[in-house]
Structure 1
Amino acid sequence: MYHIKTFNKISPVGLNKFDPECYAVGDDEQNEDGILVRSAKLHDYAFPENLLAIARAGVGVNNIPLDRCSETGIAVFNTPGANANAVKELVLCAMLMGSRDIVGGIEWVRSQVAAGVDVTTVVEKGKSAFVGPEIYKKTLGVIGLGAIGSLVANVALSLGMDVYGYDPFLSVDAALRLDRHIHVVKDINELYKRADYITIHIHFTDKTKGMIDAKAIGAMKRGVRFINLARGEIVDDEAMLAALDTGKVAAYLTDFPNNRIVQAPHVIAMPHLGASTPESEQNCAAMAVEELRDYLENGNIRNSVNLPAVSMERSGVMRMCVIHKNIPAMLASITTLLSKDGVNVENLSNKSKGDYAYTMVDLGTRVDESVIEDVRKLANVIRVRVIE
C-alpha cells in the first residue's frame, strides 16, 4: 500500500486514478511515499525518510526545495503543457485588454451609473477615451516557444498577426509544433525591434530574474504592449514603470500583482489566473497522478525537474532503481557488483541530468537484501529501491 499526502485541493479527476486497493490518499496521510501539491510551500516541511516523489500539479516548482530533494533522492515532477491551453486563452484576452482600454471603459460605465447619470446619454461621447488598435496585422513577439508559447504563436498567426518567436533552447518537438510561417529568430533584439506586442513564456531562474530590464525595454518598439503570464520576477518592475511613464511601453499586463505596480497607470494586473480553469486543474491533476504512479510502480521518470527522463518496459523478475551522483564509472560499479553476485541483467537504462543520474536495471533473477545493500554502500549512491 502506497501512502500519498495531498497539499491543497487536488481535482478528483486526478485522485480517481489511484487504485484504492493500492493507494491511501489524503491530507492526513503520514510517512507518505508520495506527495501531491499545487501551491503549498514545502520548504519548511520535514520529509519522511521513505518519501520517494513529489508531483506538482502545475509547472512552477518554486514552492519545492529542489536541492534538498535531489540530495535525498526524492524525484520531483511537474506537469508541463497540462495548463497550456488555459494560459494561451488568457494571453489572447490580455492582448485585447491591452489594445483597447476595456477595463477602463467598464469601470467608467459603472461610475456613470453610480453617479446617477443616464449612461445611455453619455456613452457616445465618453467612449473616445477608451479606443485602441486592432491586433489584426500587428506583430507579436513570443519569448519562449515551449508548450504554451507554441500554442500562443500558432493561434496568433491564425488571427492574422505576424509572429516572431525566440527560444535559445528550442527542442525538436517544440519546433515541430510551430507553424512554418512563424519567424524564429536567434537574436532576441530582432524580436524586440519588430513586435507591437510581446508575451513571455519562460521559466523563472537565476538567469532569467530581471531579464526584462531597462536595456531590454530600450530595444523594444515605442508603444509596445507587454504581457507577463510567466513569473513576476522576470520583469524589473522599476524599469517597466519608468517605461510606462514615458510611453515607451503602452501597457503592461501581468498575472503577478504587487502593491507597487497595481497602482500605476497602464497596468492591468490579474490575480494569477493563468491556469485557473476547471479543465486546466483537471489536466494537471491527472498528469501529476499518472507521473507519480508510473514512478512508484515502475520506476519510470517522466517530466522530472531534478532527475533525468528514463522510461523502460518491464522485463525480468525484479527491477532495481538507483539514484546516484553523475560521476564517471558509476554504471560500471553497479553492474560489476551485480555480475559478481551472479545476477543476470535483462535490461538496463542509465541517464544523467546535471549533477545527478538514474539507473534502472531489470534483473533476471530475484536477489536477496545483501546484494541490494552492497549497491547502497557504493560511494555516491543516493538511493536504491527494488520493484517486483
Structure 2
Amino acid sequence: MPFRIRTLNAISQTGLSRLPADRYLVGHDVAQPDALLLRSASLHNQPIEKSVLAVARAGAGTNNIPVPEYSKRGIPVFNTPGANANAVKELVIAALFLAARNIVPAAAFAHRLDGDDASMDKAVEAGKKAYVGFELPGRTLGVIGLGAIGVEVANAAASLGMRVLGYDPAVTVEHAWKLNSKVEHVTNLDQLLKRADIITLHVPLIDATRGLIGAAQLAGMRKSAVLVNFARG
C-alpha cells in the first residue's frame, strides 16, 4: 500500500517527481494522509487527522507549523533549509538596486510624463536629479542572520564591491566557512545598525528574534539607511 501524502500548497513538480507513483499517493485531496507537505499554509489551530505521521515544509522556516504540539504527539516536522537560498538572494540583491537607484519612484515619474517630445525632455531634465540615488560599491551592507540565505547575500554583496558586516550570535561553523573573507564579523547588533547604509534581515521568526528590530533599533540607524526584510515577521 503506498504512503499517502496530502499537499496543502502547490509544490514544484520537480520535487514531487522524487516520490515514485508506485510508492506514494500524492495530492491535495488525499484522505487519511500519512504525511502533510506544505509551503506557506498555516497549521496553527487547524486539526489534523490521527493518521498523520509526519509533516514536511518546502522551505526553511517552520513558524506556520505548531511544532511543540506535534512533538507532543510524536509527529516529526521536517524542513528544507537552503533549498531556496539562491532565489531569495537574487530577490534581495534586486531590492538593493531598487532602493539604491530609486528605480520604483523613477519609473513612476516616467510613467506620469505627458505631452510632446520637447515638453517631456524638459520635464526629464528638470526632474531626473531627484532619482539619482547612489552606487553600491563602497557602501556598507549589514547582514543580520548568517544562515544559508544570509551567507549567499553577504558573498554576493562583497562581490559587488560593498563593505559587508555580518551579525549572527548562532552562526554555524559550516556557514562561517562559506563566508567571503572580506565579510566583517560583528558581535554587537547596535554597532552594525549604526555603521550600515543598508540592513538586510535573514533570521527565522522565533521567540529569540521576535521584535529584533523595533523603535529603538530604527532610531539607532543612519537617517538615510535602508532596511530590507525578506525574513519572517
Q: Which residue of 1 aligns with 2:9?
A: 8
User: How do 1:71-82 and structure 2 match up within 5 A?
Assistant: 71-82=72-83
Q: Which residue of 2 aligns with 1:42?
A: 43
Q: Which whole-Å deviations, capped at 9, do the CAs of 1:290-315 have from their partners, x for residues lacking one? A: xxxxxxxxxxxxxxxxxxxxxxxxxx
Q: Which residue of 2 aligns with 1:127?
A: 128
SS in 1 for 2:181: coil
Report the CA distance between 1:195 and its aligned residue: 0.9
With the length of structure 2 as denominator, give the TM-score of the two structures: 0.93
2:63 and 2:206 in contact (8 A); partners too? no
Q: Which residue of 2 aligns with 1:96?
A: 97
2:193 and 2:220 in contact (8 A); partners too? yes
2:151 and 2:175 in contact (8 A); partners too? yes
User: How do 1:187-198 and structure 2 match up within 5 A?
Assistant: 187-198=188-199
SS in 2 for 1:88: helix
Q: Which whole-Å deviations, capped at 9, do the CAs of 1:182-219 have from their partners, x for residues lacking one? A: 11011112212211111110011223222111221232
Q: Which residue of 1 aligns with 2:113?
A: 112
2:5 and 2:26 in contact (8 A); partners too? yes
2:143 and 2:201 in contact (8 A); partners too? yes
SS in 1 for 2:113: helix
The structure in which a higher percent of residues are strand is 1
User: How do 1:270-349 and structure 2 match up within 5 A?
Assistant: none
SS in 2 for 1:125: helix
Superposition CA RMSD, Å: 1.5
Report the CA distance between 1:221 and its aligned residue: 2.5
Report the CA distance between 1:167 and its aligned residue: 0.3
Report the CA distance between 1:75 and its aligned residue: 0.9
Q: Which residue of 2 aligns with 1:168?
A: 169
How far apart in 1 are the matches of 2:188 and 2:84? Answer: 28
How far apart in 1 are the matches of 2:231 and 2:124? Answer: 36
Q: Which whole-Å deviations, capped at 9, do the CAs of 1:126-182 have from their partners, x for residues lacking one? A: 211211111111111100011011011111111111111000001010100101121
With the length of structure 1 as denominator, give the TM-score of the two structures: 0.57
Structure 1: give runs of 5+ residues left out of the alignment: 234-388
How far apart in 2 are the matches of 1:211 and 1:109? Answer: 37
Q: Which residue of 2 aligns with 1:211?
A: 212
Q: Which residue of 2 aligns with 1:139?
A: 140
User: How do 1:361-372 and structure 2 match up within 5 A?
Assistant: none
2:41 and 2:64 in contact (8 A); partners too? yes
How far apart in 2 are the matches of 1:103 and 1:228? Answer: 17
How far apart in 2 are the matches of 1:165 and 1:175? Answer: 10
Report the CA distance between 1:89 and its aligned residue: 1.1
Aligned residues with identical type, % of pairs: 47
2:38 and 2:56 in contact (8 A); partners too? yes
Max radius of gyration: which structure?
1
**Partner amino acid for 1:180?**
S
Q: Which whole-Å deviations, capped at 9, do the CAs of 1:274-333 have from their partners, x for residues lacking one? A: xxxxxxxxxxxxxxxxxxxxxxxxxxxxxxxxxxxxxxxxxxxxxxxxxxxxxxxxxxxx
Alpha carbons of structure 1 residues 117 and 42: separation in structure 2 relative to 1, 3 Å: farther
Report the CA distance between 1:23 and its aligned residue: 0.9
* Structure 1 residue runs of 4 or more that deviate by more than 4 Å after TM superposition: none
Report the CA distance between 1:47 and its aligned residue: 2.0
SS in 2 for 1:207: coil
How far apart in 1 are the matches of 2:188 and 2:219? Answer: 15
User: How do 1:146-295 and structure 2 match up within 5 A?
Assistant: 146-231=147-232, 233=233
Alpha carbons of structure 1 residues 117 and 203: separation in structure 2 relative to 1, 3 Å: farther
How far apart in 1 are the matches of 2:200 and 2:14? Answer: 31
How far apart in 1 are the matches of 2:105 and 2:122? Answer: 18
Report the CA distance between 1:5 and its aligned residue: 0.7
Report the CA distance between 1:67 and its aligned residue: 2.1
2:142 and 2:196 in contact (8 A); partners too? yes
Count, aligned residues: 230
How far apart in 1 are the matches of 2:19 and 2:209? Answer: 37
Report the CA distance between 1:117 and its aligned residue: 5.2
SS in 2 for 1:122: helix
